[in-house]
């Protein structure tokens, strides 16, 4: 066992002494040491229920013959960090989480890891660590939140709180209604109810084979989730015995399957950042063009909020979950092993669709193409991303006038004070990985635009990124970013911008010569933050089109 380096032999008597100080028995020292990397936090709704899941994982590990050790990891709630400088820390926390898992696992020579996660950056950070360490690992996502209820219908975070800000500003709801929505939309523990980033990544983790079947959709409050936690604890021991390593699971085929599922589900655009970053740790390259290639051949068969109005994660779970989705997609998926010991093809064969409206057949999709499109053009020659499944057919082609803002806050102020009019293209720049720093999500301005009734008449483009809850003609990840001398940094107020999603194009009405002239005269990028972790991050981070990994 790897842990023998830290516990076996006469010379390791002091090491054992410290291990006994934790309260474990002499018998436990001779068992595999299992790290339970828990991102429990009182601050993050998606993580507040993890104390109980830790207990069930511990029971599973003990019952299968292992010795469990829980250690903590940081967790950022994107919703709470949204709309202010705190969001600068969200994407960078992905790298910190991967580094923390590596540090603890390597320092203590752990034999295997159960990675207990749920929210946006924590799940990809842990998957990155699994790929980097390549020791036996299994993921456990803590599960989605149930929907709230208010005025006779189900409610959720994004549609009914973020967009309510715009509704209130447009005087479509009263302040008392806004307050009542605040109390009703999020009824308890779990990741936010729609197919936003956290739940998208949980589903993709399952389809990649790094978590047990049904883990991605089983609700946080369910006994099913506890049983999965127990079985996850048991399963890590079997992975150690058979030396089944993450890179045996996270193969090119696994990432291909993840992208297929992402397109079929209409998942968050953040996956275009996270999947390449995880693949990078496994020695695999995922170019942006692969996402678009798969999107064009994958029907869009599941339409959860925010793209749809009627269905949430709990509906996907009751309809059969990810195994049911895999059963529909089985002709598009590539066979691959999973941590469960059952192959992708066998899981797909066993899946059963219980609701053909929640999970539609391939012959009756919501759209012929997948949920995400990759655009290129003279202001994004390395590419940019749009969640086309959440764009109205009327806005799939859009030409408008640029309204330039150098930060999210200035754009948000203009939107709320009704300075943005139909036909405008809101341009938010210097919010990329380097320029932000940290590539903040722009959910507040996009939700405000929707709430104010402008989702079909106003577009938004940014070198930052969006929450999985964003809808409308919103183009993110524009690469290269303004801080890296990207052309988005030289567009002027009032200039014409054209977005053509069906033809995968985005451009400003500027000649190549004019763009080159302006870039040559552009001032050198001056970092916004010059001290602390974000200063280091800004200097080391790569472009969004490569996954915003650290160089």
CATH number of the domain at 225, please: 3.40.50.2300
Residue 399 and residue 254 share a domain: no
Q: Are 438 and 347 in contact (CB under 8 A)?
A: no
Residue 208 and residue 101 share a domain: yes
Residue 326 and residue 408 share a domain: no
DSSP character string of 391-410: S-GGGSEEEEEEEEESSHHH
> Per-residue pLDDT for the chain (551 aa), expressed as one digit of tens each?
999 999 999 999 999 999 999 999 999 999 999 999 999 999 999 999 999 999 999 999 999 999 999 999 999 999 899 888 899 999 999 999 999 999 999 999 999 999 999 999 999 999 999 999 999 999 999 999 999 998 899 998 877 888 888 888 888 889 999 899 899 999 999 999 999 999 999 999 999 999 999 999 999 999 999 999 999 999 999 999 999 999 999 999 999 999 999 999 999 999 999 999 999 999 999 999 999 999 999 999 999 988 888 999 999 999 999 999 999 999 999 999 999 999 999 999 999 999 999 999 999 999 999 999 999 999 999 999 999 988 999 999 999 999 999 999 999 999 989 999 999 999 999 999 999 999 998 888 888 898 888 889 999 999 999 877 778 899 999 999 999 999 999 999 999 999 999 999 999 999 999 999 999 998 888 999 999 999 999 999 999 999 999 98
Q: What secondary structure letter does DSSP report for 497?
A: E
Catalytic residue, from 467, 484, 507, 543: name it: 467
Q: What CATH number should be reported for the domain holding residue 522?
A: 3.50.30.80
Domain boundary residue, one of 298, 315, 350: 350
Domain boundary residue, one of 316, 350, 384: 350
Domain assignment of residue 215, yes or no:
yes
Residue 41 and residue 119 share a domain: yes
Q: In degrees rounded to 5, what are phi and psi of residue 433?
A: -55, -45
CA atoms within 13 A on the CB side of 79: 24
Domain assignment of residue 498, yes or no:
yes
Residue 258 and residue 179 share a domain: no
Q: Are 302 and 267 in contact (CB under 8 A)?
A: no
pLDDT for 307 equals: 85
Q: Are 439 and 464 in contact (CB under 8 A)?
A: yes
Domain boundary residue, one of 315, 350, 385: 350
CA atoms within 13 A on the CB side of 2: 19
Residues pairing with 372 in the sheet = 387
User: The domain containing residue 328 runs over which residues?
Assistant: 4-9+30-146+188-350
Q: Are 423 and 457 in contact (CB under 8 A)?
A: yes
Domain assignment of residue 245, yes or no:
yes
Q: In degrees rounded to 5, what are phi and psi of residue 125?
A: -60, -40
Domain assignment of residue 17, yes or no:
no
Instruction: Quote the CA–CA distance of 506 and 512 in Å, as a whole number.
Output: 14
Q: Which is it for the CA torsion 457, 158, 225, 59, positive or negative?
A: positive
Domain assignment of residue 367, yes or no:
no
Domain assignment of residue 382, yes or no:
yes
Domain assignment of residue 358, yes or no:
no
Beta carbons within 8 Å of 283's beta carbon, 6+ residues apart? 247
Instruction: Quote the CA–CA distance of 199 and 243 in Å, as a whole number.
Output: 29
Residue 469 and residue 386 share a domain: yes
pLDDT for 219 equals: 98
Residue 288 and residue 173 share a domain: no
Tokens 């764009």 belong to 391
Buried b (16+ CB within 10 A) or exposed e, 427-462: bbbbbbbbbbbbbbbbbbbbbbbbbbebbbbbbbbb
Residue 178 and residue 89 share a domain: no
Residue 48 and residue 178 share a domain: no
Q: Are 468 and 193 in contact (CB under 8 A)?
A: no
Residue 261 and residue 122 share a domain: yes
Residue 164 and residue 138 share a domain: no
Domain assignment of residue 195, yes or no:
yes
pLDDT for 93 equals: 97
pLDDT for 166 equals: 82
Residue 284 and residue 135 share a domain: yes
Q: Is 467 a catalytic residue?
A: yes
Tokens 């595999």 belong to 32
DSSP character string of 110-179: -SEEEEEE-STTHHHHHHHHHHHH-SSEEEEE--BPPPEEETTEEE-HIIIIIHHHHHHHTTSS-HHHHH
Q: Are 543 and 479 in contact (CB under 8 A)?
A: yes
Domain count, the chain: 3
């Amino acid at each position: 066992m790897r842990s023998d380096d830290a516990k076996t032999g006469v010379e390791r008597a002091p090491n054992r002494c410290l291990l006994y100080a934790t309260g474990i028995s002499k018998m436990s020292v001779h068992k595999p040491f299992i790290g339970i990397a828990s991102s429990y936090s009182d601050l993050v709704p998606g993580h507040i229920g993890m104390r109980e899941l830790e207990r069930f994982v511990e029971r599973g590990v003990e019952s299968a013959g292992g010795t469990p050790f829980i250690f903590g990891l940081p967790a950022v709630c994107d919703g709470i960090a949204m709309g202010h400088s705190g969001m600068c820390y969200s994407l960078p926390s992905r790298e910190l989480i991967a580094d923390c898992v590596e540090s603890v696992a390597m320092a203590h020579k752990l034999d295997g890891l159960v990675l207990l996660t749920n929210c946006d950056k924590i799940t990809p950070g842990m998957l990155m660590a699994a790929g980097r360490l390549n020791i036996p690992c299994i993921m456990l996502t803590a599960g989605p939140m149930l929907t709230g209820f208010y005025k006779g219908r189900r409610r959720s975070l994004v549609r009914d709180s973020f967009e309510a800000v715009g509704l209130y500003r447009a005087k479509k709801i009263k302040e008392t209604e806004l307050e009542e929505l605040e109390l009703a939309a999020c009824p308890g523990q779990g990741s936010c109810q729609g197919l936003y980033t956290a739940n998208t990544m949980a589903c993709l983790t399952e389809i990649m084979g790094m978590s047990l079947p049904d883990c991605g959709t089983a609700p946080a409050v369910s006994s099913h989730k506890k049983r999965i936690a127990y079985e996850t604890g048991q399963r890590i021991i079997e992975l150690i015995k058979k030396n089944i390593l993450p890179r045996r699971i996270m193969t090119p085929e696994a990432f291909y399957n993840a992208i297929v599922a992402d397109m079929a589900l209409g998942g968050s655009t953040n996956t275009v950042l996270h999947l390449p970053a995880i693949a990078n740790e496994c020695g695999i390259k995922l170019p942006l063009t692969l996402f678009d290639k798969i999107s064009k051949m994958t029907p869009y068969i599941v339409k959860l909020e925010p793209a749809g109005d009627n269905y949430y994660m709990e509906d996907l779970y009751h309809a059969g979950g990810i195994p049911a989705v895999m059963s529909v997609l089985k002709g598009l998926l590539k066979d691959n092993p999973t941590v469960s010991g059952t192959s992708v093809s066998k899981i797909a064969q066993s899946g059963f669709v219980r609701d053909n409206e929640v999970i539609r057949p391939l012959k009756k999709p919501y759209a012929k193409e997948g949920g995400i499109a990759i655009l290129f053009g003279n202001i994004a020659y390395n590419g940019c991303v749009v969640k086309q499944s959440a764009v109205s057919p009327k806005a799939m082609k859009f030409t408008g006038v640029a309204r330039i803002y150098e930060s999210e806050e200035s754009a948000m102020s203009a939107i709320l004070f009704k300075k943005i009019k139909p036909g405008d293209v809101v341009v938010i720049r210097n919010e990329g990985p380097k320029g932000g720093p940290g590539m903040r999500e722009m959910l507040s301005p996009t939700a405000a635009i929707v709430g104010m009734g402008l989702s079909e008449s106003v577009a938004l483009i940014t070198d930052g990124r969006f929450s999985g809850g964003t809808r409308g003609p919103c183009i993110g990840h524009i690469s290269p970013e303004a801080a890296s001398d990207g052309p988005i940094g030289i567009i002027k107020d009032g200039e014409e911008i054209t977005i053509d999603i069906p033809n995968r194009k985005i451009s400003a009405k500027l000649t190549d010569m004019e763009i080159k002239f302006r870039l040559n005269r552009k001032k050198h990028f001056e970092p916004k933050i010059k001290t602390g972790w974000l200063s280091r991050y800004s200097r080391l981070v790569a472009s969004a089109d490569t996954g915003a990994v650290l160089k």
